[in-house]
């Protein structure tokens, strides 16, 4: 339930109780003073705060009700606000103060009428209070029942969430097993055959084709990345971060792509998610350049601002401002990762040709 709806509901209950008390006072043959009016309305309107301050509202209503009875002793059910406050106190788990307040009020009424204030005979007074006791017991039972019902509902939600987490974990393990049994084996075979081909070429004294070296290097990277992904699926954290950025750039250079790294600002230790996201941004951008850009050079820039980490990758490839990029799965995943961290990202062609990926990540 929204906060606005809760306030509206509590305000409606308070106004209804206040209107009922006023109607009962106006139709009662017993004259009441302005003080009684004020106390009755104050205790009724205090019900608006019964969710936020249940104990305070209960004690306030108790005090107002006792004073009303001492001042005028009206023959109307002035305990209505007190009953509402008692219900709320029991509902939110304040059982001791609720039972004590209810029993104390009833006992004090008997003592005042029988021993202090002139009034009904003791027998009639006790009978009247026994009838009122039923209302107090009903309010406490209803409040306790509401508390138990909400507790069971919360436990049911927690159980459902736990079941969903367990099912998600089992599904991740199943996917990890499938990837390990199929994809890892296939990539390992590719890496093995590429390595054998490179070895035989070198053994015969032949020049190893760059494409074959690139296949060997890319298959090794794929195996490493797949193992990292399997580790994430199995619950092992991904340990790739900016401390491995140099290795990533060297592997990109090994494919024949000139990459220049520029770091500005004061480098410092970053939160794990920020550090990992920055690495993945550069990795995905370099992968896209290698596959699609046909670039002659790439600039990777990291700017460490006190509250912001900026990651920018520029290439001088074939992209033009007139060609709107079609975001692939990699760019979409990158944007989702950055957005989840409260950052922003842009990926578009540069005005003078080439492509730019720029991400800004807030650093706490």
pLDDT above 70 covers a percentage of the chain that reads: 88
The pLDDT score that the predictor gives to residue 302 is: 92
Q: Report whether 286 contacts 298 (CB < 8 A).
A: yes
Q: Which long-range contacts (CB under 8 A, 24 or more apart) does 101-110 make?
A: 101/58, 101/59, 101/62, 102/136, 102/139, 102/140, 104/62, 105/62, 105/65, 105/66, 105/79, 105/136, 106/132, 106/133, 106/136, 108/66, 109/69
Residue 120 pLDDT level (bands cut at 50, 70, 90): low
The pLDDT score that the predictor gives to residue 288 is: 81
CA distance 266 to 246: 17
Query: What are the residues facing 238 on neighbouring strands?
Result: none
Question: Structural domain boundaries of the chain?
Answer: 3-155, 183-233, 242-362
Mean pLDDT for the stretch of residues 295-320: 87
Mean pLDDT for the stretch of residues 38-53: 86
Q: pLDDT, tens digit, for every residue of 168-217? A: 888 878 887 777 777 777 777 787 888 888 888 888 888 878 777 778 77
Mean pLDDT for the stretch of residues 329-348: 83
Residue 311 pLDDT level (bands cut at 50, 70, 90): very high
Q: Report whether 273 contacts 312 (CB < 8 A).
A: no
Q: pLDDT, tens digit, for every residue of 219-270? A: 777 777 777 777 767 766 556 778 888 888 888 887 778 889 999 988 888 8
Q: Report whether 240 contacts 276 (CB < 8 A).
A: yes
Q: pLDDT, tens digit, for every residue of 265-306? A: 888 888 888 888 888 888 888 888 877 767 888 899 999 988
Say yes or no to pLDDT of 117 above 70: no
Say yes or no to pLDDT of 1 above 60: no
Query: 30-34, 82-86, 114-118, 152-156: lowest mean pLDDT where?
Result: 114-118
Average pLDDT of the residues of the chain: 81
As its CATH architecture, domain 242-362 has 2-Layer Sandwich (3.30)
Helix ranges (DSSP H) in 72-181: 80-91, 95-111, 122-181
The pLDDT score that the predictor gives to residue 323 is: 61
Burial level of 119, CB count in 10 A (0-12/13-18/19+)? middle
Query: 48-52, 123-127, 238-242: lowest mean pLDDT where?
Result: 123-127
Residue 336 pLDDT level (bands cut at 50, 70, 90): confident
Mean pLDDT for the stretch of residues 342-349: 88
């Amino acid at each position: 339930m929204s906060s606005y709806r809760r306030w509206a509901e509590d305000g409606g209950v308070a106004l209804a109780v206040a209107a009922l008390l006023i109607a009962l006072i106006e139709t009662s043959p017993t004259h009441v003073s302005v003080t009684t009016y004020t106390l009755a309305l104050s205790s009724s309107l205090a019900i608006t705060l019964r969710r936020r301050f249940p104990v305070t509202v209960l004690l306030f209503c108790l005090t107002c009700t006792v004073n009303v009875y001492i001042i005028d002793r009206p023959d109307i059910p002035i305990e209505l606000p007190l009953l509402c406050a008692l219900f709320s106190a029991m509902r939110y788990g304040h059982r001791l103060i609720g039972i004590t307040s209810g029993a104390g009020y009833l006992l004090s009424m008997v003592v005042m009428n029988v021993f202090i204030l002139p009034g009904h005979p003791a027998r009639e007074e006790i009978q009247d209070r026994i009838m009122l006791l039923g209302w107090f017991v009903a309010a406490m039972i209803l409040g306790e029942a509401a508390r138990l019902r909400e507790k069971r509902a919360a436990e049911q939600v927690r159980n459902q969430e736990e079941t969903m987490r367990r099912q998600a974990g089992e599904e991740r393990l199943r996917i990890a097993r499938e990837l390990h049994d199929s994809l890892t084996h296939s990539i390992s075979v590719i890496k093995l055959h590429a390595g054998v081909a490179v070895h035989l070429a070198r053994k015969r004294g032949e020049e190893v084709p760059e494409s074959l070296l690139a296949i060997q290097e890319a298959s090794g990277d794929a195996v490493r990345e797949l193992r990292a992904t399997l580790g994430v699926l199995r619950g092992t954290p991904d340990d790739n971060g900016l401390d491995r950025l140099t290795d990533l750039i060297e592997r990109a250079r090994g494919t024949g792509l000139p990459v220049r790294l520029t770091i500005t600002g004061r480098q410092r230790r970053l939160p794990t998610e920020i550090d990992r996201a920055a690495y993945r941004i550069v990795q995905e951008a370099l992968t896209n350049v290698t596959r699609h850009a046909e670039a002659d050079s790439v600039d990777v820039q990291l700017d460490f601002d006190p509250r912001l980490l900026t990651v920018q990758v520029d290439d001088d490839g074939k992209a033009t401002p007139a060609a709107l990029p079609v975001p692939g799965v990699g760019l979409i995943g990158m944007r989702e990762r950055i957005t989840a961290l409260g950052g922003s990202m842009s990926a578009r062609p540069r005005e003078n040709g080439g492509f730019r990926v720029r991400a800004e990540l807030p650093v706490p």
